[in-house]
Structure 1
Amino acid sequence: MSSFKPSGSVVVVTGAGGGIGRGIAAAFARRGASVVVTDVEGEAAEEVAGELRADGGSARAAQVDVTDARAVQSLADAVYAEEGRVDVLVNNAGVTMRPMRALWHGSEEDFRWMMEVNYFGVVNGLRAFLPRMLEQTGRRHVVNIASTAALNDVKGHSMYTGSKYALEGISNVLRAELADQGHDIGVTVVFPGAVATRIATSERLRAEADRSSARTVTPWVSAVDAHLDQTVADPDEVGERVFQAVLADDRYCLTQPVPARWQEQRLADLTGGFRDTPSTEPAS
């Protein structure tokens, strides 16, 4: 497996009009990559691309809604027509909802919107870019942004957590499939914790009638005091950690320290869940 060389590479980052996406785009641009900054908010994408160029980087902006498969395919067509290749695809665009709520207080539309952006938005990116990335030579990489919500049971956050679990699952299988077929393409799943971004205001991107503020939503109130035990990370620091993970071909990337008990509990829950599974051994 060859090593990734950032200088002269082409990097596509979705949801890069701010926050984690902006931090990742900046980390690659500083190393000489040509970065395509995409966001559903076109003006935000243009602003970030302008900042990267002002800092000496190579960047251009594109407005795209990742839930629109045809729009994402058009983005891929445009990037390949101009650049001829994509070396790193970063599926970062994601949303959440406030107030946090119990699963039974989430509407069907809430669940569908969360999955359309956080899961199918990534699927759309993979299906649009991967076929041509497979035809390239040299080291290539896919980065999918999950969440530490997939490591810890964050009560009141079931819709978001479910979408991120799904994203981790397809990422793991994709990495195995690429390795099985001998493709020089790595896959990294990133687990950001609390980061200083605008994700809590994601519903600004929904139709006004669908927003939580347009109806009565019962906020989650925990019966047990619990703390996430996390510091709030800076998006630029997160971007740097993601860049280093691509260089190292890390399978997973934690953007900041998390309590070990989160991962230990997850493993214990998984193995414990199989304890009573019937044996596959043939009966004697």
Structure 2
Amino acid sequence: MTFFHEPTDRYSDGRDMLDFLCTALKIDFLPPHLTRSSQCANENFAVAGATANNNAELESIANVTSLTEDTLEVQLSWFRNDLQGHDLSKALVYFGEIGGNDYNYALGAMRPANEVQALLPAVVEKIHNALQTILESGVKKVVVQGQFPMGCIAIYLRLFNNTDQLDSNGCVSSVMEISNQHNRMLRDVIGHVQEIHPDVDIVFFDTTEAYLHILTNPSIYNFNNVRDPCYTGGLELLALANAGNTGGSPSAALPPHNINRTSCSNPENYIGWDGIHLTDAMYGAMMKLFLTDARFTSPFPNFLTPCTNH
């Protein structure tokens, strides 16, 4: 509704983080893998609901399952197949937020804290292996995006309302610990991979710190609602999708025809779009911080600095 004015399979009212990076780099938006025009063209391997772990691993660790079998490993297989034999030394790989869905399925199903925590090393190991695979293919420039501050997201503010302690930012402390620990472990992985590949440029986008900066300074970015989703029906859809993990069934949860299908009229003033994903305005504000502010990107300046249009 905000930018494309037609359905695009993005969980937002408009563009997402990668779209804004493409604009800053003066290149076209990346088409989905399955619609690519050639095997050496730019493409996006992301899949909605994808996890780092496969269903057998998710069931073993947290007794939950994913909505899709297109895991990180599947996405990597597409990457390897499409780009095999090509010189990737001048390519840029944007390694987006990975692992959030592993935690989302477990948290949404109200699994015990120790089971959710147990997902952390499994997720980070998958990320470590994926980064190694990408670099072994010849890629020399990688952007790694950190985890969002999950305890600040509307779905968890509602799910754990009045049951868990809030931190100084008004975010659910127990859920924040999951994403904070993920980011600490992710930074360690990046440091380790950088040591092994000193000729590679790896840039880290600190998604949590950028989000919290905007959360505590909303008026600067024209936000007047930092807690509620613009599209409240998204929370109902998420509950419906996760019904199997909570012991229910989609048909017993919320009949689709009863789900709210309207959104707010001013998403540019909202941080959250559907209760778990963000608005076009929020994604744009965060990407601008990543490209211009040393507080949220390391190292800074970096290989993106001279070639992006802010």
TM-score normalised per structure 1: 0.50
Task: Say what the alpha-carbon RMSD is for the aligned residues.
Answer: 4.7
User: Residues 20 and 59 (structure 1 numbering): CA distance in 2 closer, same or farther, change over 3 Å?
Assistant: same
1:126-182 deviation per Cα after TM superposition (whole angstroms, max 9, x unaligned): 235201332334321101122184894567824421211112211332343345442
Trace 1:28-67 onto structure 2 (pairs within 5 A): 28-30=21-23, 31-32=26-27, 35=30, 62=47, 65-67=50-52
Verify: 1:24 aligned to 2:17, yes or no: yes
Match of 1:123 in 2: 124
In the alignment, does 2:242 pair up with 1:206? Answer: yes
Cα distance between partner residues in 2 of 1:178 and 1:20? 36
Evaluate the alpha carbon distance shift between residue 126 and residue 112 of structure 1 in structure 2; reply closer, same or farther with a 3 A threshold: same
1:87-166 paired onto structure 2 within 5 Å: 87-91=93-97, 93-94=100-101, 107-108=111-112, 112=115, 116=119, 119=120, 123=124, 126-135=127-136, 136-147=138-149, 149=151, 152-153=167-168, 157-166=172-181
| 1:237 maps to which of 281, 290, 309 | 281
**Whose strand proportion is higher, 1 or 2?**
1
The answer to whether the 8 A contact 2:96-2:145 is kept is yes
Identity score, percent: 10
Partner of 2:82 in structure 1? 82
The TM-score, its normalising length taken from structure 2, stands at 0.47
Separation in 1, partners of 2:125, 2:74? 11
Rounded to whole Å, the distance in 2 between the matches of 1:249 and 1:139 is 19
Residues 58 and 24 (structure 1), Cα distance of their counterparts in 2 relative to 1, 3 Å cut: same
Structure 2: segments with no counterpart, 5+ residues? 1-8, 37-41, 56-70, 153-165, 216-225, 253-268, 272-277, 298-310
How far has the Cα of 1:67 moved from its partner?
4.5
Aligned length: 199
> Relative to 1, partners in 2 of residues 1:29 and 1:161: Cα closer, same or farther, differing over 3 Å?
same
Whether contact under 8 Å (2:145, 2:207) holds in the other structure is: yes
Q: Deviations over 1:31-68 (max 9, x none)?
A: 42663669xxxxxxx9xx89xxxxxx965764563043
Pick from 170, 180, 185: which aligns with 1:170? 185
Report the CA distance between 1:184 and its aligned residue.
Answer: 1.1
Matched residue, 1:68 = 53
8 Å Cα contact 1:37/1:60 also seen in 2: yes
8 A Cα contact 2:32 2:43, kept in partner: no
Distance 1:246 1:78, change over 3 A: farther
Moved more, 158-167 or 141-150: 141-150
Contact 1:96 1:114 in 2 (8 A): no
Classify 1:171/1:68 alpha carbon distance in 2 versus 1 (closer, same or farther; 3 Å).
closer
Indicate conservation of the 8 Å contact 1:147/1:190, yes or no.
yes
Amino acid of the structure 1 residue aligned with 2:141: R
Q: Post-superposition shift, 1:247?
A: 3.9
Determine the structure 2 residue equivalent to 1:187: 204
> Any idea what the Cα deviations from partners look like across 1:73-130, whole Å, max 9, x if unmatched?
1211112321455611011544659x99xxxxx652x7635874xx468526523520
Match of 1:269 in 2: none
Alignment correspondent of 2:63: none
Task: Evaluate the alpha carbon distance shift between residue 247 and residue 89 of structure 1 in structure 2; reply closer, same or farther with a 3 A threshold.
Answer: same
